A and B are shown apart, each in its own frame.
Chain A
Amino acid sequence: AQKVTQAQTEISVVEKEDVTLDCVYETRDTTYYLFWYKQPPSGELVFLIRRNSFDEQNEISGRYSWNFQKSTSSFNFTITASQVVDSAVYFCALSEVSGANSKLTFGKGITLSVRP
């Protein structure tokens, strides 16, 4: 069975601080995808990134960066120079790629509060 653990439940930082959100996953599949989603107070789920299990290259998109380490089954997300607009709940998710069943298994989410 697949499992995603986001051990941090709430993080509070002051604007311009860097913050890292941790994600650890479990799967028996050799091929899988990892995701991060942002859920702002308005409630929608905003897709941030998808990474497949064969691509361990780190990715940077503006102030966001992701570190995928297969050896430790982790897919951590760092926000550099955080801003108040980054305040949201962040979810890490895992999907298997087996036939047509590609449901997502989500972690419990991390509530990030960025104070001015």
Chain B
Amino acid sequence: DSGVTQTPKHLITATGQRVTLRCSPRSGDLSVYWYQQSLDQGLQFLIQYYNGEERAKGNILERFSAQQFPDLHSELNLSSLELGDSALYFCASSGSGTSLKGAFFGQGTRLTVV
């Protein structure tokens, strides 16, 4: 058990809809990272938050957004969903954020857009 909790584990939704994925980091970790794993793009970094503030952005679409709350849990919002958004979405957390002591991943949310 990595200590990172993601909900839900599975999500099936229709094109054009909006969904929210939730991540609770390991106790004490201030940084949260979101990654997308798809068949064609592999594992890609989307966005990082550190103690409530956005710190880095990767290949995140404008239809996607994220936030980190005062209790450090994070949510990834995906809107106007397309078939190509079907993927496994991972959250990871790490320590101080200034040096990566070890990125531990949650079990992922498998999103299927139909």
Contacts and interface: CB of A to CB of B under 8 A. Distances in A.
Nearest to A95: B100
Contacts of A47: 2, 102-105
A102 B104 contact: no
B108 A45 contact: yes
Interface residues of B, number: 30
User: Which of A43, A103, A106: most chain B Cβ within 10 A?
Assistant: A103
Interface string A71-113: 0000000000000000000010101010111111111110000
Given A43-B88, A47-B2, A101 B55 contact: yes
Contacts of B102: 47, 50
Contacts of B44: 106
Interface string B65-88: 000000000000000000000001
Grouping DSSP codes into helix (H, G, I), strand (E, B) and loop, the B interface class, with mixed when no group exceeds half, is strand
A100 B68 CA distance: 15
B81 to A, nearest CB: 20
B110 interface: yes
A109 B48 CA distance: 22
A104 B103 contact: yes
* A contact residues, range: 20 to 34
B48 A103 contact: yes
Nearest to B90: A45
A37 B31 CA distance: 19
A56 to B, nearest CB: 19
A102 to B, nearest CB: 4
Nearest to A107: B42
Contacts of B45: 103-105
Interface of A: 33, 35, 37, 43-45, 47, 50, 91, 93, 95, 97, 99-109
Q: Ordered nearest first, which 7 A-B pairs have the shortest CB separation?
A: A102-B100, A106-B43, A45-B105, A103-B45, A100-B97, A101-B56, A44-B107
